[in-house]
Amino acid sequence: MANIKIDSSSYVDPNGFLFWHKDEAYRLIYEEAAPFYLSLFEDGTIAKLMAENHLVKSEPISDPKFNLKQTGLILKHETLSPNTYCVEWCPSMLQDAALTALNLSKVLLHHNCMLQDAYPWNILFRGPEPIYVDFTSIVPLSKELIWPAYEQFLAFFLRPLLLSAMGKGEIARKLLLNNISGIDLHTFLLNASVGFKVTHPLQLLIAKLDTYIQKNHNLKKSLKSYIQKNSREISKELRNRFYTTLINNISALSFNQAGDLWKEYYNTIPRHVNKQAKLVRIKSLVENLKCKTLLDLGSNTGIFSLICAELGMKVISVDQSQECMEQLYHSAKRKNINITPIVSDVLCPTPPFGFIGEQYPSLFDRVKSEIVLCLGFNASFTRKW
C-alpha cells in the first residue's frame, strides 16, 4: 500500500486527478477517458508535444502499486519545482505562458484536439522555460465553439497582459488572486488607462451590452437558444487563423523597462567600493558549499543568482521589483540557465489563496533550497525604515 496525497488544485478535472507519492507527481486518468489518451501516446502525438511544444514529460506506468479507489491509466509526470503562480510572474513570464498555451492549441488542431481550459495554473516554469502541466486539459475538438476556453484566456492572460503593458503589472497580479474569475471585462475597464478606452470604444460597448443582457433573464435565455439552434461546425482553417491572430496580438505587447529604485540600486554604490571583490568572494563561498539548489531573497537584478546558476545550481530568485525580475528573466532565457524569478515582497510574501485558502500554498511553503542568500536585506531595511 502506497501513501498518496491528492493535489489540492485537482478537484474539478472531469478526466482524472493529480496525486503525489514520495514527492513525485502522478496522474490517474479515469477508465472512460483512458483510451483517448492512450491513443495519443500510441500515435506519437504526446512524444511530439513533449519534444516541441512544452508539454510536461509524462509516461504511462504499467505496474503501479498505489491504493486508489478508482481504476484507469496512471501516468508519471516530470516533477517541476518550485510551483510558481501567475500572481508572482513578471509580465514577460505571463506572456510566454500565454504563447505556450496558444502554440500548443494550434498544434493540437492537427490532431483534432484542443485545450478545454485556459488557466495559468496549468503552466509551471522549468527555470525560464514554461511547461504545460495539465495533461488532461487536452480533449477532443469541440465542433460548435471555436475555443470554449476563450473567455478564460481573456480573463487570465490577455487582460492582465494589457494592464501590464499600460504599466499596471502590480494591479494585474493582485487582481489575479481571484483564481475563479480572473480579470473580467468590467474590472479591466475600471483599471485600464484613458488612452486604451479612447482607442478601444468597442470594449466599452461590449461591457454595456453584457450588463444589459445579464440583467434581462429572458433575453439571455433567448440568445443562448438561438446560438444553440444556429451553431455550425467550425473549420480548422478558421480556428488556425483565430489562434494565429491571438499569438500575434500577444507577441506584439511590450512592457516598460523603465528603471525603478531597486533596479538602479547598483548604480548608487560609491565608486570606491570594490564590487568585484564581493562577487569573487560570494562565488568562492558558494562553490565550496557544493550545493545544488539556492534561494536568493531580495535578489535585485540577480547578479548573484546568475553567478550561482552559471555554476550549475538550480536558483530561485525573489524580489518585489517587477522590473528587476523582468531583467533577470530575460537574462536567464538568453543564457539558458536554471533561474526561476518570482515577484514577491519577502517581508509580505504571497499568501495561500484559492479554495478556502488551501488550493495554492503560500510562497515559503513552496520554495525550498539548500542555501539561502539574503544579501539585499541590509539595503532593503535601510531604505524602508
pLDDT at position 19 is 92
Q: Is 167 left (phi over 0), alpha (psi -120 to 50) or beta?
A: left
* Residue 353 burial (CB count, 10 A): 18
Q: What is the mean pLDDT of residues 317-338?
A: 96
Among 21, 52, 77, where does a domain finish? 77
Question: Which residue has cell 536558483?
Answer: 315
Q: Give 175-219 pLDDT, tens digit per residue.
A: 999 999 999 999 999 999 999 999 999 988 888 888 888 888 888
What does the block give as the cell for 171? Answer: 494591479
Q: What is the mean pLDDT of residues 50-59?
A: 96
pLDDT at position 224 is 74
Q: What is the span of the domain harbouring residue 271?
A: 265-384
Residues facing residue 25 across a β-bridge = 20
- The overall average pLDDT reported for the chain is 89
150 with 207, same domain: the answer is: yes
In a domain, 130, yes or no: yes
In a domain, 228, yes or no: yes
Q: What is the mean pLDDT of residues 333-350?
A: 95
Q: For strand 72-77 and strand 58-60, is the pairing parallel, antiparallel, or unpaired?
A: antiparallel
pLDDT at position 10 is 76
pLDDT at position 383 is 41
Report the CATH number that the domain containing residue 318 is assigned in CATH. Answer: 3.40.50.150
pLDDT at position 31 is 93
In a domain, 216, yes or no: yes
What does the block give as the cell for 162? Answer: 494589457
pLDDT > 90: percent of the chain: 67
Total domain count for the chain? Answer: 3
| Position 354 pLDDT exceeds 80 | yes
More confident: 204 or 317: 317
pLDDT at position 380 is 47
pLDDT band at 268 (very low <50, low <70, confident <90, very high): low
Per-state percent for the chain, helix, strand, coil, to nearest 5: 45, 15, 35
| Position 229 pLDDT exceeds 80 | no
Q: What is the mean pLDDT of residues 99-105?
A: 98
Q: What is the mean pLDDT of residues 144-167?
A: 95
378 with 300, same domain: the answer is: yes
In a domain, 257, yes or no: no
